[in-house]
């Protein structure tokens, strides 16, 4: 279909039709073909086609202005007639406008949201040339993409691959800082000196090329700088950090844009990581994000081919690790990589919301078409007469398009108001800070105009084509048999409308069920009544005293510590584990974390074999390990307790217990094998179990302990339930928006149904009268008239079910633990739509059937 | 005489500069060079049509070329009216700018 020799057909035709003046040839089409061919030869056909479309799209507003200015008299007439027609059929117009307004408002909101999601990290000047390095590895036969890479990789790649002009490694660390008396904990980003050159985070003060060169330099955001140096200039001043290190402020960033995954309030040089004990230059440990910048005109495919096998022969621990490149802008919407270091969005939400908004818009457009064709009998004579008077088909189509345009424009006005009202609650569900200010951007305003034209075209096309085809000789004679063809189409439209609504409804019910399922899922540990706080070094050093102090308070039931939250998935270790009888060729994913005595009992995790940790000196030669059931299964001991286990060759120890499997990630992943090592030193998170209902007292006790043992530390606490709920936030967001959208879609579809029913009841008033006169009961008449609608809704359900089943199954596939797809949601959706449709249509028919026949038949 | 709009002026000058080779694409390129910002492809034609209707330019149809998919090329030339209009613009701008030294625009910081 596609001819590589010629530019996109639609673009060419638009350009030809509107590009030149009227009638005269300005060489437009030829120029366009020449432009396209030159571009295709230079950049390839696909890029050329895309560019051509973009160009025409950009030129379109100008054309529109031109062509409207050219034929204002006819247009004026079209619009006048359109407005008169709208006013004549007030009920129909209202239904159309309300439906379209809801559809458009949803589209506007989703458009704003998708724009925002897609704008993440789009502002970097070099953004298009920046990629993240991904490792593709195979573990236990599973292929995995790993977002973290070796510390030595970045600089080495930059040396060896000429196309790579810059590289930047990133890591995160929690550190405490003070300029005067007060200490604050900051989550800092460690980055190579190239950071401020590669990424567009402008510095207010300081030199972007050298700000992060000295290992004891720090770059702060404006706000953070003000926090530490409230009165005066931070630049060049000294900032103290824990561990007795002093940093010099070598740069102050302008407040970084919200829409970046890379943003942070403080940046430290990556090389400082050495002092934090990070394997900055190592090949045998993957835990950093590495971003590389390619040469401006480098070919991605050739670079990718060059680096794919780069890790072969390097002293890494992963076997067969291949490197690949992920564009910077793709990172945000493609979560799910192992070892992901950034807070990301969800591409599924983008797809689901866009589809849902499109569905509602389509339902609203179908309403318009339906009502327009249903009332075609009213318009047939008008069309006939216009044709007799010499109107061509094109003119008539213009007339109908103008009508649809006026209607859509009115709806768009209403939609903007509606969207403005809905924006705050929408922001709350979607956790965004969207505002209408976004429409001030010319591109977005243009998109709004395009939405208007597209909707007007979509809604107006069928009436325009259908109504303009009437033959004057037939319609003027009163032959309305043409209407029957319209009826079949009307039913098709009606069925597709309702099937879209049913589809949304079923998917919503499934998502909701899964969310409820996840919320009530037995994770194997107890999240209630637990407060978490992060301890500094001083507190960890005197943990025994802290524990005693806290337990003295009657509101505190128990205290324990571990190195990470049970929701965090734990540190993902590539390090090789070793135990007797291990198959040396098999590589195993095994997660690792550390805990102190009493951690498992406090969180209600059951030790099914062996015992908990006991207090002991920490040494690398005699570590106590506790493994989960899954790890025990993989290690395949008859009795794991008492068996030796070594991590990375140097951390030796004995397995002292087996803990019952519990979930430490969301339900998307199966439970991986887990090893927990005894290490009071690394257990920096304090878990405090409090007496139910006594939270304020317990927190006060915690705070006073903080003041006593670590007066310099900031006291920050959170509840474990919050962390557990955060795992499902994305799903809850999807659920919230879907619930709103499916309700709206049903409402919009029912608006159309209501209009149709009203129309039919009016048209068949006499029939109802005759039936009643002959003895039919009201119930019988209502049943007779509603039957067709009921059938259609049933058909819509039948159509929607397979599609809904497919969508729901695809969505659920991402979850290792999920609901089974039973008939429940399907039947519920059917029952809901049937009863709502029956109520909507039936209500109208009951009214029509209630009129005494004497009234309806008296003019006959 | 009615003064030209800025864009019309730039396009007329571009046509004049291009001499025998002024058609849609080259004009667009020339405008891009002058303003530093690329016009969308096709945005020149409405201007050209306006200029043509106003009689500032005339068109010459050159024979069709294979790289244009067999379509012919329309070349543009300035008419005398067009040349006059340009001269008028130049005169007016000279008069309005007269006596203002570029120094005035230096930032007073």
Of B23, B49, B52, the CB nearest to A31: B23
Q: Tokens 């200490």 belong to which residue?
A: A183
Report the alpha-carbon distance of residue B59 to residue A692 in Å, rounded: 88
* pLDDT of residue A149 exceeding 60: yes
Q: Which pLDDT value is given to residue A441?
A: 64
Residue A355: name the closest of A802, A816, A811, A823 by CA: A811
Q: Tokens 């007469």 belong to which residue?
A: A385
Range ranked top by mean pLDDT from A731-745, B34-48, B91-105: A731-745
Q: Which pLDDT value is given to residue A168?
A: 92
Q: Tokens 């910048």 belong to which residue?
A: A293
Interface test with A, best of B5, B41, B66, B73 (most A CBs within 10 A): B41
* pLDDT of residue A141 exceeding 70: no
Range ranked top by mean pLDDT from A199-203, A520-524, A631-635: A199-203
Report the alpha-carbon distance of residue A533 to residue A342 in Å, rounded: 22
Kind plus residue range of the DSSP H or E element containing A609: strand A607-610
* pLDDT of residue A94 exceeding 60: yes
How many CB contacts within 8 angstroms connect chain A with chain B?
86
| Backbone CA torsion sign across A792, A798, A801, A806 | negative
B105 within a domain of the structure (yes/no) = no
Q: Which residue has the higher pLDDT, A70 or B21?
A: B21
Q: Which pLDDT value is given to residue B94?
A: 84
Bridge partners (DSSP) listed for residue A246:
A240
By CA distance, what is B49's nearest residue in A? A21
**Cβ contact A363:A745 at 8 Å:** yes
| Residue B58 sits at the chain A interface (C-beta within 8 Å) | no
Mean of pLDDT values over A510-523: 85
Q: How confident is the model at residue A72 (pLDDT cuts 50, 70, 90)?
A: low
Mean pLDDT for chain B overall: 80
* pLDDT of residue B109 exceeding 50: no
CA angle A733, A736, A737 (to 5 degrees): 90
Q: How far is A49 from chain B (nearest CA, A)?
A: 13
B39 within a domain of the structure (yes/no) = yes
- Asked if A63 lies within 8 A of B23 by C-beta distance, the reply is no
- Asked if A25 lies within 8 A of B73 by C-beta distance, the reply is no
**Complex-level ipTM beyond the 0.90 threshold:** no
Contacts of B43 in chain A (CB under 8 A): 58-59, 62
B102 within a domain of the structure (yes/no) = no
B96 within a domain of the structure (yes/no) = no
- Asked if B25 lies within 8 A of A29 by C-beta distance, the reply is no
How many helices, marked H, and strands, marked E, lie in chain A?
27, 24
Q: Is A775 helix (H, G, I), strand (E, B) or coil?
A: coil
Would you state the structure tokens that stand for residue A85, as one six-digit string? 């027609």
Q: Which pLDDT value is given to residue A812?
A: 86
The predicted-structure confidence for A270-323, as pLDDT tens digits, reads as follows 988 888 878 888 887 788 889 999 888 878 888 888 888 888 877 777 767 888
Q: Tokens 């490197």 belong to which residue?
A: A323
Report the alpha-carbon distance of residue A8 to residue A263 in Å, rounded: 40
Would you state the structure tokens that stand for residue A709, as one six-digit string? 């043992």
Give first-to-last CA distance, chain A, whole Å.
Answer: 59
Residues with Cβ within 8 Å of A541's Cβ and at least 6 positions away in sequence, in order, are none
Report the alpha-carbon distance of residue A361 to residue A363 in Å, rounded: 5
Report the alpha-carbon distance of residue A207 to residue A221 in Å, rounded: 14
Give the rounded percent of residues in chain A with a pLDDT score beyond 90. Answer: 2
Of A5, A30, A32, the CB nearest to B41: A32
**Cβ contact A687:A561 at 8 Å:** yes
Contacts of B52 in chain A (CB under 8 A): 21, 24, 26
Contacts of B59 in chain A (CB under 8 A): 26-27
The total number of structural domains that make up chain B: 1
Report the alpha-carbon distance of residue A653 to residue A623 in Å, rounded: 4
Q: How many other C-beta atoms lie within 10 A of the C-beta of residue A155?
A: 14
Residue A288: name the closest of A416, A189, A205 by CA: A189
**Cβ contact A462:A362 at 8 Å:** no
How distant, in Å, are the alpha carbons of A505, A510, A532, A731 from that of A822? Answer: 15, 10, 39, 20
The predicted-structure confidence for A219-236, as pLDDT tens digits, reads as follows 988 888 888 888 878 888
Residue B56: name the closest of B109, B107, B100, B5 by CA: B5
The predicted-structure confidence for A431-466, as pLDDT tens digits, reads as follows 777 776 666 666 667 777 777 888 888 778 877 787
Q: How many other C-beta atoms lie within 10 A of the C-beta of residue A688?
A: 28
B101 within a domain of the structure (yes/no) = no
Contacts of B68 in chain A (CB under 8 A): 30-31, 33-34
The predicted-structure confidence for A755-771, as pLDDT tens digits, reads as follows 888 877 777 777 888 88
* pLDDT of residue B108 exceeding 50: no
Would you state the structure tokens that stand for residue A487, as one six-digit string? 């009826």
| Residue B61 sits at the chain A interface (C-beta within 8 Å) | yes
Q: Which pLDDT value is given to residue A771?
A: 84
Residues with Cβ within 8 Å of A253's Cβ and at least 6 positions away in sequence, in order, are A201, A202, A203, A204, A219, A220, A221, A222, A267
Q: How confident is the model at residue A47 (pLDDT cuts 50, 70, 90)?
A: confident
The DSSP code sequence of A807-834 is: HHHHHHTT-SS-----SHHHHHHHHHHH
Give the rounded percent of residues in chain A with a pLDDT score beyond 70. Answer: 91
The predicted-structure confidence for A679-709, as pLDDT tens digits, reads as follows 877 788 888 888 888 778 888 888 888 888 8
* pLDDT of residue A136 exceeding 80: yes
Residues with Cβ within 8 Å of A314's Cβ and at least 6 positions away in sequence, in order, are A150, A152, A156, A283
Residue A317: name the closest of A571, A649, A576, A136 by CA: A576
Report the alpha-carbon distance of residue A112 to residue A161 in Å, rounded: 40
By CA distance, what is B50's nearest residue in A? A21
Q: How confident is the model at residue A4 (pLDDT cuts 50, 70, 90)?
A: low
* pLDDT of residue A484 exceeding 60: no
- Asked if A30 lies within 8 A of B59 by C-beta distance, the reply is no
Kind plus residue range of the DSSP H or E element containing A424: helix A393-430
Mean of pLDDT values over A117-131: 85
Among the ranges given (A286-295, A512-521, A575-584, A843-852), the one the predictor scored with the smallest mean pLDDT: A575-584
CB-hemisphere CA count at 13 Å for A695?
10
**Cβ contact A172:A190 at 8 Å:** yes
Mean pLDDT for chain A overall: 81
B97 within a domain of the structure (yes/no) = no
Interface test with A, best of B42, B44, B73 (most A CBs within 10 A): B42
The predicted-structure confidence for A528-537, as pLDDT tens digits, reads as follows 888 888 887 7
Residue B16: name the closest of B49, B54, B51, B53 by CA: B51
- Asked if A19 lies within 8 A of B45 by C-beta distance, the reply is yes
Contacts of B42 in chain A (CB under 8 A): 15, 19, 28, 32, 55-56, 59, 63
Residues with Cβ within 8 Å of A283's Cβ and at least 6 positions away in sequence, in order, are A150, A151, A152, A153, A314, A315, A316
CA angle A352, A355, A356 (to 5 degrees): 85
Q: Which residue has the higher pLDDT, A623 or A587?
A: A623
Among the ranges given (A169-183, A286-300, A380-394), the one the predictor scored with the smallest mean pLDDT: A380-394
The CATH code of the domain that includes B86 is 1.10.10.10
| Residue B43 sits at the chain A interface (C-beta within 8 Å) | yes
Mean of pLDDT values over A468-492: 69
Q: Which residue has the higher pLDDT, A803 or A388?
A: A803
Q: How far is B92 from chain A (nearest CA, A)?
A: 28
Q: Is B59 helix (H, G, I), strand (E, B) or coil?
A: strand
- Asked if A56 lies within 8 A of B42 by C-beta distance, the reply is yes
DSSP strand pairing (A184-191 vs A164-178): antiparallel
* pLDDT of residue A1 exceeding 50: no
**Cβ contact A356:A506 at 8 Å:** no
């Amino acid at each position: 279909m596609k001819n590589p020799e010629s530019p996109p057909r639609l673009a060419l035709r638009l350009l030809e039709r509107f590009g030149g003046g009227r009638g005269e040839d300005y060489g437009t089409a030829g120029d366009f073909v020449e432009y396209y061919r030159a571009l295709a030869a230079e950049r390839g056909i696909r890029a050329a086609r895309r560019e051509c479309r973009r160009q025409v799209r950009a030129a379109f507003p100008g054309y529109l202005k031109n062509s409207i200015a050219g034929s204002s008299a006819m247009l004026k007439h079209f619009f006048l007639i359109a407005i008169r027609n709208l006013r004549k059929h007030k009920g129909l117009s209202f239904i159309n406008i309300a439906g379209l307004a809801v559809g458009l408002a949803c589209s506007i909101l989703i458009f704003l949201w998708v724009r925002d999601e897609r704008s993440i990290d789009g502002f970097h000047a070099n953004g298009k040339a920046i990629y993240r390095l991904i490792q593709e590895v195979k573990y236990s036969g599973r292929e995995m993409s790993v977002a973290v890479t070796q510390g030595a990789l970045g600089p080495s790649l930059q040396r060896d691959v000429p196309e790579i002009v810059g590289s930047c490694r990133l890591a995160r660390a929690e550190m405490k800082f003070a300029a005067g008396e007060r200490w604050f904990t900051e989550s800092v980003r460690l980055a190579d000196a190239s950071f401020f050159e590669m990424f567009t985070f402008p510095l207010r003060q300081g030199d972007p090329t050298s700000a992060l060169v000295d290992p004891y330099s720090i770059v702060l955001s404006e706000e953070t700088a003000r926090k530490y140096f409230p009165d005066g200039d931070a630049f060049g001043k000294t900032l103290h950090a824990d561990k007795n290190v002093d940093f010099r402020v070598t740069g102050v960033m302008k407040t970084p844009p919200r829409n970046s995954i890379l943003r942070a309030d403080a940046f430290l040089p990556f090389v400082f990581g050495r002092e934090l004990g990070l394997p900055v230059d190592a090949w045998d440990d993957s835990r950093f994000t590495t971003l590389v910048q390619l040469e401006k005109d480098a070919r991605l495919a050739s670079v990718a081919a060059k680096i794919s096998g780069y890790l072969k022969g390097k002293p890494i621990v992963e076997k067969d690790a291949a490197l690949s490149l992920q564009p910077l802008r793709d990172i945000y919407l493609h979560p799910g990589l192992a070892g992901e270091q950034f807070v990301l969005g969800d591409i599924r939400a983008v797809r689901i919301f866009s589809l849902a908004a499109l569905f509602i818009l389509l339902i609203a457009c179908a309403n318009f078409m339906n009502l327009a064709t249903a009332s075609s009998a009213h318009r047939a004579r008008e069309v006939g007469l216009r044709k007799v008077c010499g109107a061509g088909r094109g003119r008539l189509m213009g007339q109908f398009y103008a009508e649809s345009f006026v209607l859509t424009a009115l709806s768009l006005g209403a939609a903007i108001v509606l969207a403005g009202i809905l924006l705050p609650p929408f922001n709350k569900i979607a956790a965004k800070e969207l505002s209408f200010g976004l429409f001030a951007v010319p591109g977005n305003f243009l998109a709004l105009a395009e939405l208007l034209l597209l909707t007007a075209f979509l809604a107006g096309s069928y009436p325009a084509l259908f109504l303009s085809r009437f033959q004057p000789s037939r319609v003027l004679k009163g032959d309305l048999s043409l209407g029957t063809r319209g009826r079949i189409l009307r039913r098709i439209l009606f069925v597709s409308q309702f099937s879209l609504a049913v589809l949304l409804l079923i998917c919503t019910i499934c998502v909701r069920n899964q969310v409820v399922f996840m919320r009530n899922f037995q994770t194997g540990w107890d999240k209630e009544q637990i407060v978490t706080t992060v301890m500094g070094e001083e507190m960890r050093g005197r943990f025994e005293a802290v524990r005693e102090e806290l337990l003295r308070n009657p509101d505190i039931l128990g205290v324990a510590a571990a190195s990470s939250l049970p929701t965090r998935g734990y540190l993902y270790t590539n390090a090789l584990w070793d135990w007797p009888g291990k198959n040396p060729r098999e590589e195993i994913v095994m997660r690792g974390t550390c805990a102190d005595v009493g951690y498992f009992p406090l969180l209600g995790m059951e030790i099914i074999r062996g015992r908990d940790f006991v207090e002991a000196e920490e040494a690398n030669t005699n570590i106590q390990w506790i493994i989960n059931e899954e790890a025990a299964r993989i290690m395949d001991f008859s009795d794991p307790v008492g068996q030796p286990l070594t991590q990375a060759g140097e951390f030796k120890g004995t397995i002292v217990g087996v803990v019952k499997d519990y979930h430490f990630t969301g339900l998307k992943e199966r439970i991986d094998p887990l090893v927990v090592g005894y290490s009071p030193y690394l257990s920096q998170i304090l878990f405090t179990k409090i007496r139910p209902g006594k939270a304020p007292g317990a927190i006060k006790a915690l705070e006073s302990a903080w003041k006593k043992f670590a007066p310099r530390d900031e006291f920050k606490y959170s509840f474990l339930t919050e962390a557990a709920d955060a795992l499902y936030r994305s799903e809850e967001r999807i659920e919230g928006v879907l619930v709103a959208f499916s309700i709206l879609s049903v409402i919009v579809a029912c608006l159309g149904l209501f209009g149709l029913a009203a129309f039919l009841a009016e048209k068949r008033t006499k029939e109802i009268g005759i039936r009643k006169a002959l003895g039919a009961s009201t119930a019988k008449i209502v049943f007779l008239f509603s039957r067709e609608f009921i059938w259609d809704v049933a058909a819509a359900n039948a159509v929607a079910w397979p599609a809904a089943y497919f969508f729901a199954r695809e969505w659920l596939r991402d979850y290792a633990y999920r609901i089974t797809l039973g008939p429940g949601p399907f039947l519920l959706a059917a029952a809901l739509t049937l009863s709502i449709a029956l109520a909507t249509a039936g209500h109208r028919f009951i009214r029509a059937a209630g009129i005494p026949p004497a009234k309806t038949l008296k003019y006959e | 005489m009615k003064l030209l709009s800025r864009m019309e002026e730039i396009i007329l000058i571009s046509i004049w500069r291009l001499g025998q080779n002024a058609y849609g694409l080259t004009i667009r390129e020339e405008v891009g060079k002058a303003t530093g910002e690329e016009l969308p492809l096709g945005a020149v034609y409405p201007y050209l049509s306006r200029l043509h209707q106003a009689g500032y330019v005339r068109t010459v149809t050159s024979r069709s070329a294979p790289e244009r998919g067999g379509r012919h090329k329309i070349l543009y030339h300035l008419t005398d009216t067009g040349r006059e209009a340009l001269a008028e613009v130049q005169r007016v701008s000279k008069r309005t700018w007269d006596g203002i030294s570029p120094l005035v625009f230096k930032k007073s910081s």
